[in-house]
């Protein structure tokens, strides 16, 4: 217990019941939400204060004045300094208190915790864990959101579910015929191809390639491909990190060009607390890029799919209290089970504790 | 379309480790007989994240060899491994040294991690020879985390020890100990005082691992973490002496008889129960399976004596059964 730096990060990091690793980048806002005003946001088991400094960089601090706990987001931004609404305590962008109006000196300990921030538009990522562990790391690169050649739409919503339920749902294809029957093509129900699940240490992905089949209605409307033709489709989904799930959905166009119609559905899952999750999502496509009606059609598909899942997932959350506690799993759940294991291992590493009942933690 | 219609056919799920074809972007000499290879996706795509202690399989024709990732864990686009030339080995390192060059593609499986670095305020790292590889990212992360650590790095001779240049900036936290100058690592001194909240990570040749295990007997349970590069020597067991036994797969509801000379994993595979596996010699831990009933005949190099006696987990690639029947969580 001699190293103050090591332990300094611990108590706050493990405040509250969280089954999410803290040494990880999470999306807490989109770039357009953070400007020259104070934004308070409840995420990652705490209230965060976000604002843009004069040089354009985003700052993230605890949204709580250490004096009498007023939310700093109720105060004002003066240059790069945050002034508390209650007594005028003033903080620099790194969280150091620089002024207490009622006295000459700043009291010892008057600083607000700051967080490492990484902005790669449209996402603002924050690292809630040990700040030093963020050095040399970057959030996952998402080329469709930064490269030319893609049309992007998106939004956000909050669900009353633990974030792992959303990962579980995102890695599961077998609920589609039941929950999203009008959004799928024939391949989902007739002779579904093998689901290939690939695991690595901290990631898991599924992929499958369908035998040629007619497109689902929305696919035909979005791509402009004829409804009466059959196309090869491939879908891949990846648990990239506890904070991110990415799906690629490909339609191979007709001969001879065999144009690739690719849709990429990016979902950032950011725990608000143990029972709520903020979903910040983007849908990118490499076709019909200038067509606003396609954008609106796809918006309905993405939002509709999530809101169709929502009542079920929230009911499951209410039933299980968010802990998995499932009694039975099927073969098709292999990817989701792996995601739970990955998170369990990351948490064990982070907390310096063995995974209960697992050998890997104590090879002594 | 097809609203509300249940699937008319069952879906097959195939579970495997991530396999990728990567391109060698750098090949560098690191010491006598040691080269490092830097690997990247040919299209520049992001590689899956990993944590210190992770390793990958290099698929070299029929041979599969494990190499620890030894570059910075934060690097999303390249992985680095280091390979010691071992002419007396099984041939993997000779293939790597003699044939692989910048621009070549190699097939890779993983990464996976059976040597994870757990957060702790203090660490002792012990590396012998090429065992330095998993330790490199560990000390980088331990430094960032603000932990107090020391590394004792032994090797045949200074010229045979890789990464001395990259270790130099750590100054006195690193003690290099070439055999030809100083003899074997002074483990009695290094491990003399067991401490709470201090973890020991050791990777290297069997002699170093065995000696470290012995010196750590007085340390708190769970303090020592080891990684073996090759199988622990096992008593010879002639196939003729092996007896058949029954394996019950609890979740799949399948019962399989494992004949002499056939591994559990192969017997299950023939019946369509696939278990993730990699090394096939009880070293890597990929096929670790929970035991629900029965007494395994452990033949792996991973489990400690306590763990063997606990009968909770087994490596189904090499281990067999002492009881007539094993019930596994498969």
- Tens of pLDDT, residues A12-39: 333 334 789 999 999 999 999 999 999 9
Residues of A in contact with B121 (CB under 8 A): 1-3, 6-7
pLDDT of A259 higher than 60:
yes
> Is it true that the peptide bond before A181 is cis, omega within 30 degrees of 0?
no
Alpha-carbon span B31 to B85, nearest angstrom = 10
Report the CATH number at residue B103: 2.40.30.10
Q: How far apart are the first and last CA of chain B?
A: 36
Tokens found for residue B131: 């065992």
Count of pairs with CB atoms under 8 A, one residue in A, one in B = 194
Q: Cβ contact (<8 Å) for A130 and B73?
A: no
- In a domain, residue B117? The reply is no
* Nearest-by-Cβ selection for A359 from B77, B113, B313: B313
Nearest Cα to B262, choosing from B247, B278, B279, B284? Answer: B247
pLDDT of A145 higher than 60:
yes
- In a domain, residue B160? The reply is yes
- In a domain, residue B4? The reply is no
Q: Cβ contact (<8 Å) for A201 and B7?
A: no
β-strands B245-249, B325-328: how paired?
A: parallel
Q: Cβ contact (<8 Å) for A364 and B13?
A: no
- Pair (B50, B147) in one structural domain: no
- In a domain, residue B14? The reply is no
Is B191 an interface residue toward A (CB < 8 Å)?
A: no
- Pair (B98, B127) in one structural domain: no
Q: Cβ contact (<8 Å) for A199 and B18?
A: yes
pLDDT of A338 higher than 90:
no
- Pair (B280, B249) in one structural domain: yes
User: Smallest CA–CA separation between B25 and chain A, in Å?
Assistant: 20
Tokens found for residue A337: 């089970």
Q: Which residues, including other chains, have CB under 8 Å from residue B84's CB and lie 6 or more apart? A: B33, B34, B93, B129, B130
pLDDT < 70 stretches in chain B: 1-10, 229-240, 278
- In a domain, residue B131? The reply is yes
Query: Is the ipTM reported for this complex over the cut 0.90?
Result: no
Q: Cβ contact (<8 Å) for B49 and A202?
A: yes
Tokens found for residue A41: 């946001």
Helix, strand, coil in percent for chain A, rounding step 5:
25, 30, 40
User: Smallest CA–CA separation between A179 and chain B, in Å?
Assistant: 8
pLDDT of A361 higher than 70:
no
- Return the pLDDT at B233: 56
- Pair (B58, B99) in one structural domain: yes
Alpha-carbon span A213 to B303, nearest angstrom = 50
A87-91, A93-97, A224-228: segment of lowest average pLDDT: A224-228
Report the CATH number at residue B322: 3.10.20.30
- Pair (B155, B205) in one structural domain: yes
Domain encompassing residue B48: 19-112
Question: Contact, B128 vs B203, CB < 8 A?
Answer: yes
User: Smallest CA–CA separation between B261 and chain A, in Å?
Assistant: 27
Q: What is the mean pLDDT of the segment spanning A42-68?
A: 97
Would you place residue A10 in the very low, low, confident or very high pLDDT band (cuts 50, 70, 90)? very low
Alpha-carbon span A82 to A89, nearest angstrom = 8
- In a domain, residue B11? The reply is no
Question: Contact, A25 vs A126, CB < 8 A?
Answer: yes
- In a domain, residue B260? The reply is yes
pLDDT of A40 higher than 90:
yes
* Nearest-by-Cβ selection for A352 from B1, B19, B120: B120
Decide which of B94, B112, B130 is a domain's last residue.
B112
Question: Contact, B301 vs B282, CB < 8 A?
Answer: yes
- Return the pLDDT at A8: 29
pLDDT of A149 higher than 90:
yes
Q: Cβ contact (<8 Å) for A136 and B147?
A: no
Nearest Cα to B109, choosing from B69, B136, B163? Answer: B69
Q: What is the mean pLDDT of the segment spanning A167-187?
A: 93
Q: Cβ contact (<8 Å) for A203 and B7?
A: no
Question: If you search the block for the tokens 């934060």, which residue do you land on?
Answer: B74
- Pair (B37, B94) in one structural domain: yes
Q: Which residues, including other chains, have CB under 8 Å from residue A101's CB and lie 6 or more apart? A: A87, A88, A89, A90
- Pair (B90, B139) in one structural domain: no
Report the CATH number at residue B175: 3.40.50.80
Decide which of B112, B132, B162 is a domain's last residue.
B112
Number of structural domains (chain B) is 3
- Return the pLDDT at A362: 27
pTM score above 0.95: no
- Return the pLDDT at A299: 98
* Nearest-by-Cβ selection for A177 from B6, B115, B147: B6
- Tens of pLDDT, residues B270-328: 777 777 776 777 777 778 888 999 999 998 887 877 788 888 899 998 999 999 999 99
- Would you call B88 exposed, middle or buried from its count of C-beta atoms within 10 A (0-12, 13-18, 19+)? exposed
- Return the pLDDT at A187: 85
Q: Region of A288 please: left (phi>0), alpha (psi -120 to 50) or beta.
A: left
- In a domain, residue B6? The reply is no
- Return the pLDDT at A220: 94
Is A363 an interface residue toward B (CB < 8 Å)?
A: yes
Nearest residue of B to residue A214, measured between CA atoms:
B1
pLDDT of A214 higher than 80:
yes
Question: Contact, B280 vs B315, CB < 8 A?
Answer: no
Is A32 an interface residue toward B (CB < 8 Å)?
A: no
Tokens found for residue A354: 């063995």
Q: Cβ contact (<8 Å) for A6 and B121?
A: yes
- Pair (B128, B221) in one structural domain: yes
Q: What is the DSSP letter of A185?
A: -
Domains and CATH numbers, chain A: 4-134 (2.102.10.10), 143-351 (3.90.380.10)
Nearest Cα to B303, choosing from B278, B279, B285, B330? Answer: B285
- Return the pLDDT at B240: 57
Residues of B in contact with A197 (CB under 8 A): 13-16
């Amino acid at each position: 217990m001699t190293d103050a730096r090591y332990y300094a990060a611990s108590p706050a990091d493990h405040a509250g019941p969280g089954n999410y690793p803290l040494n990880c980048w999470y999306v807490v806002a989109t770039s357009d939400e953070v400007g020259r005003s104070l934004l308070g946001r409840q995420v990652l088991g705490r209230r965060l204060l976000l604002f843009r400094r004069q040089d354009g960089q985003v700052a993230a601090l605890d949204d709580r004045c250490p004096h009498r706990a007023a939310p700093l987001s109720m105060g004002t931004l003066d240059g790069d300094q945050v002034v508390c609404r209650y007594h005028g305590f003033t903080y620099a962008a790194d969280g150091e208190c620089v002024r207490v109006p009622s006295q000459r000196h700043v009291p010892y300990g008057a600083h607000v915790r700051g967080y490492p921030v990484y902005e790669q538009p449209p996402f603002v990522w924050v690292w809630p864990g040990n700040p030093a562990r963020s050095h040399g790391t970057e959030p996952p690169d998402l080329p469709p959101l930064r490269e030319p050649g893609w049309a992007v739409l998106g939004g956000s919503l909050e669900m009353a579910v633990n974030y792992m339920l959303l990962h579980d749902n995102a890695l599961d294809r077998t609920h589609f015929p039941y929950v999203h029957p009008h959004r799928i093509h024939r391949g989902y129900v007739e002779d579904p191809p093998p689901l290939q699940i690939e695991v690595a240490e901290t990631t898991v992905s599924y992929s499958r390639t369908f035998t040629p089949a007619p497109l689902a209605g929305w696919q035909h409307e979005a791509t402009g491909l004829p409804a009466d033709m059959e196309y090869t489709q491939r879908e891949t989904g990846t648990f990239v990190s506890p904070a991110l799930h990415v799906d690629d959905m490909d339609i191979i166009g007709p001969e001879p060009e065999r144009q690739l119609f690719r849709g990429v559905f990016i979902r950032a899952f950011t725990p608000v607390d143990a029972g709520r999750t903020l979903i910040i999502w983007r849908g990118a496509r490499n076709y019909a890029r200038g067509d606003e009606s396609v954008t609106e059609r796809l918006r309905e598909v993405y939002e509709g799919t999530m809101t169709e899942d929502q009542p079920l997932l929230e009911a499951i959350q209410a039933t299980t209290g968010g802990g998995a506690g499932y009694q039975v799993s099927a073969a098709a759940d292999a990817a989701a089970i792996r995601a739970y294991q990955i998170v369990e291992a990351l948490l064990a590493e982070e907390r310096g504790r063995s995974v209960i009942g697992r050998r890997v933690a104590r090879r002594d | 379309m097809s609203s509300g219609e249940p699937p008319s056919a069952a879906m097959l799920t195939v579970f495997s480790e991530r396999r990728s074809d990567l391109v060698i972007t750098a090949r560098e000499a690191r010491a006598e007989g040691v080269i490092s290879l830097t690997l990247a996706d040919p299209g520049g795509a992001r590689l899956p994240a990993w944590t210190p202690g992770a390793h990958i399989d290099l698929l070299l024709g029929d041979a599969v060899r494990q190499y620890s990732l030894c570059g910075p864990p934060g690097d999303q686009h390249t992985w680095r491994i280091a390979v010691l030339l071992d002419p007396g080995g099984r041939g993997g390192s000779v293939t790597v040294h003699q044939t692989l060059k910048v621009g070549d593609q190699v097939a890779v499986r993983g990464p996976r991690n059976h040597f994870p670095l757990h957060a702790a305020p203090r660490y002792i790292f012990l590396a012998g020879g090429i065992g330095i590889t998993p330790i490199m990212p560990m000390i980088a992360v331990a430094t960032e985390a603000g932990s107090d650590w020391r590394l004792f790095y032994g090797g045949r001779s200074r010229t045979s020890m890789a990464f001395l240049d990259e270790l130099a900036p750590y100054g006195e936290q690193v003690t290099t100990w070439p055999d030809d100058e100083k003899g074997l690592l002074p483990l009695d001194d290094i491990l003399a005082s067991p401490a709470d909240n201090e973890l020991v990570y050791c990777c290297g040749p069997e002699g170093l691992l065995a000696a470290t295990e012995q010196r750590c007997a007085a340390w708190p349970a769970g303090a020592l973490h080891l990684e073996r590069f090759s199988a622990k020597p096992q008593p010879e067991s002639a196939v003729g002496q092996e007896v058949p036994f029954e394996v019950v797969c609890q979740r799949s509801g399948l019962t399989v008889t494992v004949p002499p000379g056939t591994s559990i994993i192969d017997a299950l595979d023939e019946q369509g129960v696939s278990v993730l596996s990699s090394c096939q010699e009880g070293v890597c831990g990929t096929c670790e399976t929970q035991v629900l009933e029965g007494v395994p005949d452990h033949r792996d190099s991973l489990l400690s004596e306590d763990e063997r006696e606990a009968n909770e987990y087994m490596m189904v690639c090499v281990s067999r059964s002492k009881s007539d029947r094993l019930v596994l969580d498969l």
